Structure 1
Amino acid sequence: MNLASGSLLSGAYILALLSTAVVGLPTRTVTWQEYSLLILSVIGIGIICAIAFPRIWRTGPRPRLWLTASLIAVIALLYVQLRLPQPESNDISQFVSSSAQGQVVTIQGNVETVPRLTRSQKGQFWLEATQLTELESNENRGTTTRGVTGKLYVTVPLLQSTGLFPGQTISVTGVLYKPKPAANPGGFDFATYLTKEGAFAGLSGRQVSFPDENQESTWGWWMLRQRIIHAQVRQLGSPTGLLLSSIVLGRKAVDLPYDIRDLFIQTGFAHVLAASGFHVSLILGSV
């Protein structure tokens, strides 16, 4: 295979990946019917190129190579569709209310992460949903409970998230919502972020309750991480201890004040707060 052939095949693969933006991936759920039209379009373009280009560009790639390039493009499209997380039929995102105000629901599930402080001073954590309870119509004030699946991005008032731990079963009352894509080019795309995390909806929580009041935390690596953070804060104080914990464990593991994070970003040293083996070895070597 010469350089021109390799460039054509590689370009077909890359262009096929980029073409998924035409149908709205990865910020929206695309049906197989829509995706099939994209695949048929790619095949059609490959056939047209195989017929037309050899007549115009006589020293260029042969028809067989153009057809091979279209086949590689189709494989790239199928690869994207198979690897991209898709909501199941009973995923919690399927029950988001279409009304502007949103319907108040109660979601029961298992906490996946230790709550973290958001920029808006709320507690945020991931919840693996297992049960949805919603009110019926105004005429009948009963409730409907159904089993659900899926991962939720949950935010609650800070005091409501205090003391939550991974593996704990809780119920959160609030309003479900679907994330919106970035409003400005290059801005933070919340919908894409959730999709990468395997989630398709968020929950703006108001109240956290506990079906089992006697739950005890089970051992996990998160407990060791919390002990390290507490020890460093106890010895160095705040925010110095939190800053050291961010360097050792990564900023995602520590509620480092946002004013300090912003200073590191503005000065171009945000990478210092990303935990890596190199950083840990420097710290251990210094100790």
Structure 2
Amino acid sequence: MPVPPSRSRPRRRRIVWAVLVALVLLRALWVSLTPPLAAPGDPVWQLDAPGAGGGAPLIVTLRGTLLSDPQPTGPDGTCRALLQLPQGRTELRLASCGGLQQGWRVEAHGRLRQPQPAPHPLLAGPAERLRRQGAATQLQVEQATVLARPPTPLADLRRQLAQRLLAGAGAERGGLLAALVLGSARVPLPLELKEAFRAAGLSHALAASGFHLSVLLGAVLPLGRRLPRWPRLGLAGAAMLLFVLLAGPQPSVLRAVLMGGLALAVLESGGRGRPFGILMASALILLLWRPEWLADVGFQLSVVATAALVVCASPLEQGLRRRLPPWCPGWLAAASAVPLAASLWTLPLQLFHFGVVPLYAVPANLVAAPLLTPLTLGAMALALVAVLVPPLLGLLLPPVAWCSGLLVLVVKGFAALPMAQWQLGRPEPLLVLLLAAGLLGLSVPGPAGLPRLGRRLAPALLLLAALGHLALLRADQLVLVHQGHRDLLLARHQGRAALVSLQADGFSCRQARQLATGFGIPRLDWALLLDPVAPAEPACWQAQAGLVLASADGSLPLQPGQWLGSPGLVAEPLSADSRAISLVLGQRRWLLLPDRQALRAWQATEAKAWDGIWLGVLPRRPERHAVTAASRGAIWLSGGGPADGPPGWSASGPRGWLQQGWG
């Protein structure tokens, strides 16, 4: 029986739209996964030129325009800033943040090098970060000269707003107010405050997004309610343009503005807007323009969280109203549905990118919601006062700053609760897909949701994802991360872990913390630091391990007859004059030989068979036979490459990792 034309047209239209969406997403995925090629005049080609030194730093002088104010990179006072060159970009590494501003033309002289990639998938590397920003090199600046100071009204306005709010209300309260207007990317917020907002599940309040735009439009649109159509649209357009100018053209900002503009256009034309369709249209338009934004974490979280609100916030509210006890206030269901929907839908992304879940995100958002909206509106009003009538800022700032301080107390209170950041580890991509499919099956409502079979399978998918990830977390595993002269060995046993590090510096500590977080380890059983120099940041190590053993006077932290361990994880020294270590991991015994002295000391001991051997230095040819004969399993070598060791040996390369697991 032929299908009537009236029915076949909508079906053909849906097929066409599905094909277009698939093509856009495939293009964006391809661009995101393909390494970008540097422009012909980019300075990276100077490093690859013949006679450039084989990747060694190159002394150069570059001229360009600063794309941002220098931003601090750590506690040592160093800073970084992107420099736009005639062809390409580079990142300036500066000794201090003062003296340079966004928009200035500068001449920078120093050592040019390529940024180093991350040595392990769970660690952050400058190469990956700069690739997202369109830069392929870093310049360690030795001398910087300002060539021109062209007018930069927007940058000056942002800087002036932030400085006045910071000066009037302090680093925390003023920084929070400035972030509610400009976004945290443009405000020097204290690191402790950023971490507290992240742990409480309120990071979205600091990032310029759709919430801030909705507050702004909620204040502006009523003012133009009685105006004719075009002046009313002009007022809304001016508000959205101002929002983009202040917060900058970030992916989440442009998504919110484009979605708001499309929604206003549909409503003013007399049509009936479908929020999910408007969201998808906005996202696809942006991906057509900038397909690499598909890999941007902020863009992903913004789109997914907004989709959660427009698809399942209302059904969740209705379900909560039916299930909450009668004595609960009526507003509780509506207030809980929004953060609950956003938290559920963004959970796979949170785990995939960070391996951490803010456990108290829903109650924290419930408590903070009555403060956030008036505080955001008050911060925007203060920004207007700071620009137009600065003398009034001193009179109007104290009550808003007090409200800001109250929000800071709420955030820090939730961040200080036990397990505020639930470290579940970063699951495998397949498990993330299973988790996302299960959550969609349970939360997508009505006829627009998944088929009945999908709903029945959703709990099984969630259970399969949870059991698979739990099995990976509890498996025995040894991981080596090597970069330059630094080596980290992380031993995991039944959900617990211990660490052996050759260096005790702060950088190694921060790398160890990222690695442990990615593997879902909230706290190490113990950490053994084989550096003869005492730790530069002992508090960093002590914060992530139950027991830290390090050298204080150049002597070895472990002597013969001593051992450091917990059930299934034990380290013992082999001699009194070397750093050779016997590491027990479950039922397996590994030999750790960090240097040549440790190799010689091991050869002088009684011969044993080891389940694995790690070498921090390439043995000489006669020594290789002894190492090969002593190992029943893997032989790892830090540095070098496949050709540096005999067959069957594994080398990490100059920056890389090796891993072996047992079920």
TM range (shorter): 0.5 to 0.7
Number of the residue aligned with 2:84: 128
Matches within 5 A, 1:154-233: 154-158=92-96, 161-210=97-146, 212=147, 215-233=148-166
Question: Which residue number in structure 2 is paired with residue 89 of structure 1?
Answer: 40
Q: Distance in 1 between matches of 2:33 and 2:176?
A: 40
| Aligned mates of 2:64, 2:188 — CA distance in 1 | 24
Could you tell me how far apart the structure 2 residues matched to 1:277 and 1:198 are? 26
1 CA distance for matches of 2:193 and 2:29? 43
- CA distance, structure 1, for counterparts of residue 37 and residue 55 of structure 2: 25
Deviations 1:137-190 (A, max 9, x none): xxxxxxxxxxxx2111111011xx413223322111221121222212232243
Matches within 5 A, 1:1-287: 76=27, 80=31, 85-96=36-47, 97-99=52-54, 101-119=56-74, 120-130=76-86, 149-158=87-96, 161-210=97-146, 212=147, 215-279=148-212, 281=215, 282=373, 283-286=375-378
- Post-superposition offset of 1:82: 11
- Structure 1: 5+ residue stretches without partners: 14-71, 131-148
Question: Cα deviation per residue 1:14-44 (whole Å; 9 max; x = unaligned)?
Answer: xxxxxxxxxxxxxxxxxxxxxxxxxxxxxxx
- The one-letter code matched in structure 1 to 2:83 is L
Q: How far 1:207 moved relative to its partner?
A: 1.9
Q: Measure the CA separation in 1 of the matches of 2:123 and 2:34.
A: 24
Q: CA deviation at 1:76?
A: 5.0
- Asked if 2 retains the 8 angstrom alpha-carbon contact of 1:156 and 1:207, the reply is no
- Given that 1:165 and 1:217 are in contact with CA atoms closer than 8 Å, whether structure 2 keeps it comes out as no
Any idea what SS the aligned residue of 1:265 has? helix
DSSP 3-state at the match of 1:239: helix
Distance across 2 between alignment mates of 1:224 and 1:189? 33
Letter in 2 for 1:246: A
Task: Name whichever of 105-114 and 185-194 sits farther off.
Answer: 185-194
**What is the Cα-based RMSD across aligned positions, in Å?**
3.3
Cα 1:271–1:285 change in 2 (3 A) is closer
Deviations 1:262-281 (A, max 9, x none): 23223333222212242362
Residues 111 and 140 in structure 2, CA contact (< 8 A), matched pair in contact too: yes
1:278 & 1:81 partners in 2: Cα distance? 27
> Do the aligned partners of 2:105 and 2:149 also contact (CA within 8 Å) in 1?
no
Distance of aligned partners of 1:285 and 1:260 in 2 relative to their CA distance in 1, 3 Å threshold: closer
Deviates more, 1:182-191 or 1:232-241: 182-191
Superposed CA deviations along residues 42-90 of structure 1, whole A, max 9, x for unmatched, are xxxxxxxxxxxxxxxxxxxxxxxxxxxxxx8xx8599639986421222
Q: Is the 8 A contact 1:125 1:155 kept in 2?
A: yes
Distance 1:78 1:230, change over 3 A: closer
Moved over 4 A (4+): 75-79, 81-84
CA distance in 1, matches of 2:33, 2:203: 34
Q: Which residue of 1 aligns with 2:301?
A: none
**Greater RCO, 1 or 2 (C-alpha within 8 Å, sep 6+):** 1
- Letter of the 1:157 partner, please give it: A
Question: CA 1:203–1:216 in 2, change beyond 3 Å: closer, same or farther?
Answer: closer
The alignment partner of 2:139 has SS state of strand
- Alpha-carbon shift at residue 204 of structure 1 (Å): 1.7
Match of 2:80, SS state, is strand
Contact 2:92–2:141 (CA<8 Å) still a contact in 1? yes
- Measured in 2, the distance between the counterparts of 1:98 and 1:267 equals 48
Q: How many residues align?
A: 197
Check conservation: 2:90, 2:136, Cα contact below 8 A.
yes
Give the SS at the match of 1:225.
helix
Judge conservation of contact 2:83–2:89 (CA < 8 Å) in 1: yes
Single out whichever of 274-283 and 115-124 deviates more from structure 2: 274-283
- Could you tell me how far apart the structure 2 residues matched to 1:247 and 1:154 are? 28
Secondary structure of residue in 2 paired with 1:155: strand
What's the TM-score once normalised by structure 1's chain length?
0.58
Which letter maps to 1:235? Answer: G
Distance 1:271 1:78, change over 3 A: closer
1:182–1:189 contact (8 Å) kept in structure 2: yes
Give the distance between the partners of 1:239 and 1:217, measured in 2 at CA.
32
Amino acid at match of 1:220: P
The separation in 2 between residues aligned to 1:81 and 1:111, in whole angstroms, is: 26
Distance 1:208 1:267, change over 3 A: same
SS at match of 2:171: coil
8 Å CA contact 1:85–1:196 kept in 2: the answer is: no
Equivalent-residue separation in structure 2 for 1:241 and 1:190 (angstroms): 30
Counterpart-to-counterpart distance in 2, 1:81 and 1:241: 37
Distance (whole Å) between structure 2 residues aligned to residue 81 and residue 155 of structure 1? 26
SS of structure 1 residue aligned to 2:60: strand
